[in-house]
Homo-oligomer: A and B are copies of this chain.
Amino acid sequence: MDTITSRRNPIVRAAAALLGSPRERRERREFLCEGARLCRDAAESGVRIKACFFTPRAGERYVEYLKPILHAAEAAYTVEDPVAGLLSDTKSPQGVFCLCAWPQGGQGAHDGPCLVLENIQDPGNLGTILRTAEALGRFRVVLLGDCCDPLGPKALRASMGAVFRLGIETEGDPGRLMEGLKDEGYAVHGAVPSDRALEVTGIDFTRGRHAVIIGNEGSGLSRETAGLCGDLITIPMGGRAESLNAAAAATVLLWELSGRGEGKWRG
């Protein structure tokens, strides 16, 4: 196995370039995964691992994690600590990294309940919502408009690897998405924080196909998207104005959309 000692090594530089640049990830259709657990999770989820990098210390400490990773990896390198620093997005790196190809997209579109996220900007929120979606049912997930990258380092960590398995679709245009969903028989509900919208409990999500669209953390649904929804739904809330954060609102909506825990049996 090769050892990389120079921070100028072109293989390392190409991997490190993926860390901070959504554009780089998109153009190369690659991403960088960090951490023993998350890298093992990528390997076990069938993500293509083009290269694994680990420090000598990580090689000892995470030997059990590294087995399935190295089995799946097309190349492997040991790296010195300063080189590992280039690849890390965390304060205390574990020293295990994988350069991966984009996930294949799981089962692709299926007929389960559909979660649409529009213009979600915070990677922690996006990752948390994806993790919750995987836990609560078999959802179809679509990123609409200008969402942050689910394969960026913060979103990956928060998702606990859900992004490897969910088969996320992306769509830039609300009109085209809505048309597609309606053609497939989905009733499309836009989530808004408004007393005048329909309470989410007023809909029987266990009958028929339903899609729920959640908007940006600060500004909510875009006007265009809100206008294209079949109806607008809301979570009844007391307390003061600040109300639920984006991930908490998404959790309630996913739970209801799943038929309160029946979602895992469908799809």
Question: Is A55 among interface residues, defined by CB-CB distance under 8 A?
Answer: no
Question: In the complex, A237 Cα to B263 Cα: how many Å?
Answer: 9
**Is A131 among interface residues, defined by CB-CB distance under 8 A?**
yes
B residues in contact with A247, CB < 8 Å: 247-248
Per the 8 Å Cβ criterion, residues 93-145 of A in contact with B are 128, 131-132, 134-138
Decide if A244 touches B135 in the complex (CB within 8 Å).
Answer: yes
Is there an interface contact between A264 and B236, defined as CB atoms closer than 8 Å? yes
Task: Kindly state whether residue A252 has any CB partner on chain B within 8 Å.
Answer: yes
The 8 Å CB contact of A251, one of B160, B252, B263, is B252
Instruction: Note all chain B residues with C-beta closer than 8 A to A262.
Output: 236
Chain A: interface residue total (CB-CB under 8 A): 37
With the chains together, A119 CA to B243 CA distance in Å? 25
- A242 adjacent to chain B (CB < 8 Å): yes
Q: Can you name the residue of chain B whose Cβ is closest to the Cβ of A129?
A: B248
Q: Say whether A165 faces chain B, with CB atoms less than 8 Å apart.
A: yes
Chain A, residues 159-180, CB within 8 Å of chain B (1/0): the string is: 0111001000000000000000
Contact, CB under 8 Å: B255 / A238: no
Q: Is A245 an interface residue (CB 8 A)?
A: yes
Q: Tell me how far the C-beta of A226 lies from the nearest C-beta in chain B, rounded to whole angstroms.
A: 21
Among all A-B residue pairs, the 3 with the closest Cβ atoms: A238-B264, A236-B261, A134-B239
Residues of chain A touching chain B, judged by Cβ–Cβ distance below 8 Å, are 41, 128, 131-132, 134-138, 160-162, 165, 199-201, 235-240, 242-245, 247-248, 251-252, 255-256, 260-264
9 contacts between A and B (CB under 8 A): A128-B248, A131-B245, A136-B239, A161-B240, A162-B239, A247-B248, A248-B248, A251-B252, A252-B252
